[in-house]
Amino acid sequence: MSLRGGKRRGTLVRPHEIATLLLVARNERQFTKNKLTKTGETNEFFKEEKF
């Protein structure tokens, strides 16, 4: 991959879109965590993944 291509692609992404993507990712992570704890799974997975 060329750096120039990455830069060009980066200018197309607006800051609020990045924020939305980060927010969605965090919410999904939290949802998965809650689902696992509700089903009685241990938090070992999250310790290893370093969420």
pLDDT at residue 2 is higher than 50: no
Q: Where are the domains of the chain?
A: 14-49
- Residue range 15-50, pLDDT digits in tens: 778 788 888 888 888 877 777 666 656 556 656 655
Residue 4, pLDDT > 70, answer no
End-to-end CA distance of the chain: 28
What pLDDT does 1 receive? Answer: 44
CB 32 within 8 A of CB 43: no
| Res 46: pLDDT | 59
Q: Please provide residue 42's backbone torsions phi and psi, each rounded to the nearest 5 degrees.
A: -80, 165
pLDDT in tens, 6-22: 555 555 667 778 788 88
